[in-house]
Amino acid sequence: MSAPTQFDAIADPNRRHLLEELRRSPRTVNELADGLPISRPAVSQHLKTLLDCNLVSVTAEGTRRIYAINKDGFKPLTLWLDQFW
Q: What does the pLDDT read at residue 4? A: 76
Torsion-angle region of residue 3: left (phi > 0), alpha (psi -120 to 50) or beta?
Answer: beta
Q: What single-letter DSSP state applies at residue 3?
A: P
The DSSP bridge partners found for residue 58 are 67
Confidence of residue 1 (pLDDT cuts 50, 70, 90): low
pTM of the model: 0.89
Q: What does the pLDDT read at residue 21? A: 95
DSSP string, 13-45: HHHHHHHHHHHHS-B-HHHHHTTSSS-HHHHHH
What does the pLDDT look like over 24-42, one tens digit per residue?
999 999 999 987 899 999 9
**CATH numbers and ranges of domains, the chain:** 6-82 (1.10.10.10)
